[in-house]
Amino acid sequence: MSALLNFDNVTSYYGATRILKDVSFDLEDGQCLCVLGRNGVGKTTLMRTIMGLTDRSTGAIRVNGAEIGGKPPHQRAPYGIGYVPQGRGILSDFTVRENILLGTFARADKAPEIPEICLRIFPYLKDNLERRAGLLSGGQKQQLAIARALAVGPKILLLDEPTEGIQPNIVHEIGEILKMLNKELGISLILTEQHIKVARKLGDAFLMVDNGRVVARGPIAEMTDELVERHMTI
């Protein structure tokens, strides 16, 4: 496997405050990388830094060897990055169709139609394209957020707390969809996660973050209960 995304000594700021501190890691092609840690330690900032959504960052961020760290957010998606933010970022007054089509604006080919994969994976969305997004349940909104990110045509999919606030049976369903995207379609995933079971089921590798720094990393099999206890228990 070759490194698809490379973080090299990245420090990221909001104003003058350092949130991420000298973070380095590689995302291999076809890998699922789980980013774990307590609330407020920098996991969301890591995702936002990849997308260029913090005030500034130093260090190198590369996709397939191309430096993207100095580029504004709208110039990063065409490198093949889809983003499902924490809270989902669904536009409630837009229809399901309109929300998904927003993702196509960032496609490298600018194709203005809903990709077939979005409708094949999410039959509920296919049957409710004209429904106002604000009327969907939490799990349905998460499906919509993933579909919108897939409309970018990503090689890398970033998911910030994809199972947060979703009922247990839907957590399982979302997990199965992410596993299929990763293992069958070959889309590389980075996901922040509080559910240890979900991380262990989906992940190939993990990063444990504490106070803006990576404090542990490795294959998912090396994410011991002791590490979880030390860095995730309140």
Give the pLDDT confidence of 126-167 residue by residue, as tens digits: 999 999 999 999 999 999 999 999 999 999 999 999 988 888
Burial environment of residue 49 by CB neighbours within 10 A (0 to 12, 13 to 18, 19 or more): buried
Domain 3-80+155-232 in CATH 3.30.720.200? The answer is: no
Tens digit of each residue's pLDDT, the chain (234 residues): 468 999 999 999 999 999 999 999 999 999 999 999 999 999 999 999 999 999 999 999 999 999 999 999 888 888 999 999 988 899 999 999 999 999 888 777 777 789 999 999 999 999 999 999 999 999 999 999 999 999 999 999 999 999 888 888 888 899 999 999 999 999 999 999 888 888 999 999 999 999 999 999 999 999 999 999 998 886
0.85 exceeded by the pTM?
A: yes
- Edge-to-edge strand order for the sheet containing 17-28? 17-28, 3-14, 56-63, 66-67
Domain limits, the chain: 3-80+155-232, 90-153
